[in-house]
Amino acid sequence: MAGKYYVKKIMDKGELIYIDYAIILLSLAGSVWIGFHFAKGQKSTSKYFIASGKIPAWAIGMSILATLISSITFLAYPGEGFSNNWIRLVQGFMVPIVLLLLIWSVVPLYRNVIGLSAYEYFEKRFGLLARMYSSLGFIMAHFSKMGTVLYLLALAIGHLLGMDTVVIIIILGVVIIIVTYFGGIEAVIWLDVIQGFMLIAGGLVTLIIIVSTTPGGLPAIWEVGVQNDLIGFGPFDWDFVNLTFWVMALNGVFYAIQKYGTDQTIVQRYLTAKSNKDAIKASLIGVLLSVPVWALFMFIGTALFGYYHLNPEVTLPSDIKADAVFPLFILQELPIGVSGLVISALIAAAISSLDSDINCLSAILTEDFYCKLKRKVTERQKLFFSKITVLVVGFASIAIAMLFTKIGGEGILGTVFSLYAIFSGGIAGIFLLGLFSKTANNNGLNIGIAACVLFTAYAVLTSTRVEDRLLLDLGSFNFSQHNYMLGVYSHLILIVVGQLASYLFPRQEINERLTFYGWSKKKRKEAQ
């Protein structure tokens, strides 16, 4: 057996020992300590949500990385790499391409025109409906994501530790709530820094062990991957019905625009930086690290396929699912202490994603809803409401994860991508119209939103099956293309309809500083 030289193999196969448990407990205790450590400074919503704009660029960059890399990356990507090729990486590859085109104008724009909520820009550009619609889209997308992340993590950890999934969900959920409730965004960011390094270390150590214990090493793993069609990004057919390179590439372009141009979890990081230059630098650090980390964990899955293929004496259960292969390897093949390190990194990946989601959801609920409904609020009332929403959002995510234990969570990575495509609902389209159109106005945009909602409802109803029956069957008029294309069409429909409908109404005076052209003009003046 490949792992026969490890001391751990002397123990009962598949069992963690006290050193592994100690590492895991220390990791959880350290997370809680950081939350309490930063609690004493949280006396205003500015401090609680944007750390008064005093976080260094490198720390924000690591925080962006940790926010983007959750247990979905840690478990589902190896599962994909074990069973399929690397096509789902294509979405991530689009991110740096889009970011390098947008980041120089988007970051200064937000830092100059909003206070806290990314969707304040939408209101200033297109009115209240645009702000409420985009805020709700963010809330729905991230609630769905939080539930899947927590469920997937608890499922894996439950198998590894021999504990009930529901118990794990509750324990981890409470730890995440404590960190976020007491420490605010400062605790979130500095915990993300630590957890980001743990995540990378865990992945690299695991890959080194896989490669070093596989006969023939990396060349043999690569050859087996090629022979089994696990290396590559195809199919490259111009086909939007099946999952192809072009489906993932188009989806990835709009994912990148939405994530870095409209997503509160990223925009809020821009506001924590000391300057525009630092915010841009942080964004580049986060993205340029994220892509190789995504690739690392996808390749771990491919390497695991080679490991089990080239070590015939190491067998997998006949009914094992792809998502379960990596956790099984962690449990059975890693040496003493390393299992604990990798499991801690797995837990850290989820915490660093979920604490950010909770903090940002609280910011949106406070800024976009509470302050809108109750005009005259004191700073103390806002901070109190913010902390209450952290509790509500945190326990709601626990409830969603527990719901997954009842209904199952097949194909988690595909599910998350599909939910993002649905709940994105044209939000990137609103952003692009606001930034690049001089003629799009409030009324036209509202009509575009209505068209987008109708299209999304039609596509979901005519493509979703329950007990092998479509929710709405329109025969040949059913939406038959891949669900990920919803994340493309919804934005395009909103842009086209919103722009054309704007011509039906009187030209609206637009604050030029809210557009790309106004920003460019300002930069040219500053350069003179």
pLDDT mean values, one per 10 residues, the chain (528 residues): 37 63 89 89 88 92 83 80 93 87 85 89 93 88 79 80 87 93 92 87 92 95 95 92 93 88 90 92 90 93 95 85 86 84 83 88 93 86 94 90 73 52 77 92 95 88 81 90 87 95 91 83 73
The confidence score (pLDDT) of residue 3 equals 38
Q: How many CA atoms are closer than 13 Å to the CA of 477, on its beta-carbon side?
A: 6
What burial letters (b/e) apply to 395-430, b meaning 16+ CB within 10 Å? ebbbebbbebbeeebebbbebbbbbbbbbbbbbbbb
pTM of the shown model: 0.86
> What is the model's pLDDT at position 1?
38
Identify the pLDDT of residue 472: 87
Contact 339, 161 (CB under 8 A): no
Terminal Cα-to-Cα distance of the chain (whole angstroms): 69
**pLDDT given for residue 204 in this prediction:** 93
- AA letter at 427: I
Cβ neighbours for 470, distance < 8 A, ≥ 6 positions apart: 461, 462, 463, 464, 478
- According to CATH, what is the number of the domain 7-13+55-523? 1.20.1730.10
Give the model confidence (pLDDT) of 160-196 as tens digits.
777 888 999 999 999 999 999 999 999 999 998 988 8
How confident is the model at residue 415, as a pLDDT?
Answer: 55
Would you kindly state where each structural domain of the chain is located, as residue ranges?
7-13+55-523
**Nearby residues of 243 by Cβ (< 8 Å), 6 or more positions away:** 87, 482, 484
Instruction: Write out pLDDT tens, residues 98-147.
Output: 888 888 888 888 888 888 898 999 999 999 999 999 998 888 878 777 87
